[in-house]
Amino acid sequence: MPEAAGYEQARPRVVIHLAAVVGGIGANQRYPGRFFYDNAIMGIQLIEYARRFEVEKFVCVGTICAYPKFASIPFRETELWDGYPEETNAPYGLAKKMLLVQLQAYRDEYGLDGIYLLPVNLYGPGDNFDPEYSHVIPAIVRKLVEAKRDGLPNIEAWGTGEASREFLYVGDAAEGIVSAMERYAKPDPVNLGSSEELKVRDLVRAIKRLVGYQGEVVWDASKPDGQPRRKLDTSRAKAEFGFEASVPLSEGLKRTIEWYESTLVSPVRTR
């Protein structure tokens, strides 16, 4: 098994499992089987071999998609099992959710110190801007930046724009993960977020303003919105290991846009 070979070579004391096969709503709809199998099997094997090689700590980064579709606002960790996830990403969310069950079972039977974190939607420089797999922020950033560069009169956005989301800057997420690794050792899952909720429509307006695009955004209401609302209760992360997000969305978006613009072969005209 590749997992066994990796553990044999590295002999890690701590494992942080960040890997996932992920995508936006469209990718989740196209590849539900792949997203379930790949995410379940890689996590299950990594945790099993962490046990076999007596790893001191296993940090599993789960997904906000594990929460019920109509979870109460704000999402509380105690309500994680109170309903079925939103249908378009349920296979992915459930695959990652099973890793929480595995970690709790392994803690009880084998004494494996495994913790499980639930980050909200992440974004930032280095994000995946691929049109097929990107999430909402990189997808919209790419469309708007390239539309401005190419002088296009409009771009298309999925859904109605009325669904809400919460976002966490990648640097804040990294700090939260490291803090949890160092200071948290309980079986209960922990939310990581910014506690800043906004509608997708308002998010797109903010990106459009930062990019300086003067064209129109056309909303395709025939496409799904996904989960109606997302906003986390982050009080457990603060109480248990002192985590609070520090990068405002406006600043994080600015950094993300500038990073993406720097990767383009044909530069965007100066704003």
Active site residues: 92
User: Which distant-in-sequence residues (6+ apart) come within 8 Å of 226 by Cβ?
Assistant: 25, 86, 88, 89, 159, 163
The tokens describing 114, both together, are: 């495994």
The tokens describing 32, both together, are: 């539900």
The tokens describing 250, both together, are: 């406006």
How many CA atoms within 13 Å lie on the side-chain side of 70? 1
